[in-house]
Amino acid sequence: MGNAKAIKRPAVTAGFTPVVKKTAAYTVKNSEADTLFKWNSATGFNFTLPPVKKTAAGVFFDFAIELVPSSGSHGVAPNSADKVFILSKTDGQAVTLDNTTDAVGDGFRLISDGVDGWHLVAKVGTPA
């Protein structure tokens, strides 16, 4: 752990998770750790995660559908050098929800391992 960087976690009101609604592509910041991001657009778009090597191990982000897309799919893309550990994803490959079966409330949680990727640990719906 000699190379571990101290990353300041954001101040969160005790017992409350910040909720952020977005209508277009957005790059998530480390300062928004432990936030629930909601897709609120009829056109699918991606959230982009911060680089995992600049994110403390254990930091998580939640993602959920507030508005089901009528075109495209909602997804989350890692930094180009990172991966999401689900199925056989490769570096930089996004995790998307299936727009043919999406429902309001579908989503997932991604947790940083602080080394080379994000782990999908909870899901509702069918992320692929």
The full set of domains in the chain, from first to last, is 20-124 (2.60.120)
Record the pTM: 0.83
In whole angstroms, what is the distance from residue 72 CA to residue 64 CA?
A: 16
Whether 36 and 17 have beta carbons less than 8 Å apart is answered as yes
pLDDT digits (tens, 9 = 90+) for 10-65: 555 556 789 999 999 999 999 999 999 999 999 999 999 999 999 999 999 999 99
Cα–Cα nearest to 3, from 39, 47, 56: 56
